[in-house]
Amino acid sequence: MIIALIYVAIFVIAFFAVRFIATFLSHRTDFTSLKTVTFGDESAVRADRRASVISVVAIFLIWGAFTGSSWIPRFLHAPGPFVGDGSFEYVVKAPDGSTDTSSVNWRVEVVRGEGEPIAADEGDGFALGDALMITKYRSGQLIWDKNDEFTRKDGALVVEINGTPVDFDPNMRDDNGNLVQSKPRVKIDNGTVTFTDKGALSISPNEGWQMEPIWLPPPEAVWKRLIEISSEGYQNSTLWEHLGLSLFRVVVGFVLGALVGIPLGYAMGLSNWFRGWFDPIVEFMRPVPPLALIPLVIIWAGIGETGKIILLFLAALWIMTIAARAGVSGVNITKVHAAYSLGASKYQLMRHVIVPNSLPEIFTGARVAMGVCWGTVVAAELVAAEVGAGMMIMVASKFQLTDIVIMGIILIGIIGYGIDILMREAEKYLVPWKGRG
C-alpha cells in the first residue's frame, strides 16, 4: 500500500517536474506539436520517452529502496529492520502476592549465532534479569522464569511491562483448553513485547519497511546471481543452455505449427469441404488454453522434448490456421477478379495474389503465436523439465532462491520482448504494404 502510494507520488511529481523543466527548453515545432486539439486525438498521443525512462528508473529505485540496495544512496533507503541492543523492565508477581522488578537485555544479531552475546543485569529479588539474542527479521522467545525463584508452574505471572500493566494468565483455560484472555501487546523502544500461549515473553524487534532478501533480494544480488550463473550454471546446465533450450523448443514447435497451420488455413479459406471439416475442430481447440493440454501431453509423450514440442506445436497450430484463414478471407474480391481477368490460373492466383495478400495477417498471427509459445514453454517447464528457463526458476523457488527466480523472470520477459521486436522488424521489412491496401 505504501509502495503503491510512493509509486503514484513519483508518477505525479515526475509529470509536473518534466513539464516544468520543458517550459524552459526550446519547443519543437513539428506538425503534431502545432495541434491544439490533442486530448482525444489518438494520432497526437506519442509515448513520452522521458516518462519511459523515469518509469524504469522509478521501479529500480523503489526496488532498491525497499531492499536496502547498495546501489541506492543510503538516504533513499526505507527504514530497515532494527539491529542493535534494547532492554525493558517487567514486574513479576509471586504466588504469595509480592512483586519484584526485573529487566531484559536483548540484542539483534545479523546472522544467527554470530553476534557478540549480551549480558543480563541480574539485579536482586526473587526474579533475576534475563538476556536474549534475536536474529534479524525474527522474534525471540524469553523463558523469563528460567532463572527465577518462582516459575510459571508455581503461579508466578508477569503483571507489568515497562510500566504498562498487563493482565494475562496462561493457566486460565476454558473446557476445550483454549486461552480465556487475549494476549496483550506492549510497545517498547525498537520493538514489541507480547506473550506466547504458555506465558513466555515474545520480543519482536521492529522490522522496518524493507523486504527480507528471501522474499525480495536487492537488485545487486540478482545481478550477482546472473554473473555467477552465466559462468557457473545452475542445476547442471549453464544459463545459456537453460534459455537456449527453451528458445529452441519454441522455434521448433512454432515452425512445425506454422508448416501445418498455414496450408490448413489456406485450405479452409479456399474450399467449402475443408472449411466444413476443420471448422468444428479449430473452433473447439481455439479456446482451449495450451496450458490445459500439458497433463495430457505428459501422459502421452512424457516430460521429454517430444512432449514439449507437441505442446508448442498445438499452441501455434490453431493460431496460424486462423491467421491464414483470415488472410484468405481478407482478399479484396476485386483483386481476385482482376487477376482472373488478366489471365491468371488458379495456381497463379494463389501464388501471386492470395499468398502475398495474406502475409500481413500471417505475420500478425505469427507474433501472437510466438508470444503464446514462449509463455507455454515456460509453463510446461515449470511442470516438468530437466533443462529450461521455467525449470530453472521452479527449482530455485523450491530452495527459496528468490534472486534466481527474479533473475529468471526478468530474462524470460526480456526474451519474450525481444522475440516480439524481431517479429515486428521482420514484418516491416517483409510486408511493407501492410495496412496500405
Comparison of 253 and 360: residue with beta carbon closer to another protein:
360
Comparison of 211 and 349: residue with beta carbon closer to another protein:
349
Three-state DSSP class for 304? coil
Helix 219-232 × helix 49-65 angle, to 10° = 90
Comparison of 306 and 348: residue with beta carbon closer to another protein:
348
Residue environment code for 409-423, b if the CB has 16+ CB neighbours within 10 A, otherwise e: eebbeebbeebeeeb
- Binding stretches for another protein (CB under 8 A): 332, 334-335, 337-345, 348, 352-353, 356-357, 359, 431-433, 436-437
Comparison of 102 and 358: residue with beta carbon closer to another protein:
358
Distance CA 345, CA 340 (A): 7
Tell me the closest approach of the beta carbon of residue 349 to another protein, in angstroms: 9
Tell me the closest approach of the beta carbon of residue 262 to another protein, in angstroms: 17
Give, rounded to a whole angstrom, the gap between the first and last alpha carbons of the chain: 50
Tell me the closest approach of the beta carbon of residue 339 to another protein, in angstroms: 7
Residue 99 β-bridge partners = 93
Tell me the closest approach of the beta carbon of residue 330 to another protein, in angstroms: 12
Tell me the closest approach of the beta carbon of residue 322 to another protein, in angstroms: 22
- HEC string of 78-91 equals CCCCCCEEEEEEEE
Tell me the closest approach of the beta carbon of residue 431 to another protein, in angstroms: 8
Q: Is residue 313 within 8 Å of 290, Cβ to Cβ?
A: no
Distance CA 136, CA 114 (A): 11
Tell me the closest approach of the beta carbon of residue 357 to another protein, in angstroms: 7
How do 201-205 and 140-142 pair as beta strands? Answer: antiparallel
Tell me the closest approach of the beta carbon of residue 32 to another protein, in angstroms: 22
C-alpha cell at 421: 521486436
Comparison of 355 and 415: residue with beta carbon closer to another protein:
355
Q: Compute the C-alpha angle 68/73/77, nearest 5°.
A: 40
Comparison of 131 and 344: residue with beta carbon closer to another protein:
344
Comparison of 290 and 327: residue with beta carbon closer to another protein:
327
Comparison of 137 and 363: residue with beta carbon closer to another protein:
363
Distance CA 332, CA 337 (A): 9
Sheet containing 191-195: which strands, arranged edge to edge?
A: 140-142, 201-205, 191-195, 186-188
Closest CA to 167 of 177, 153, 176, 180: 180
Distance CA 406, CA 82 (A): 26
C-alpha cell at 422: 524481431
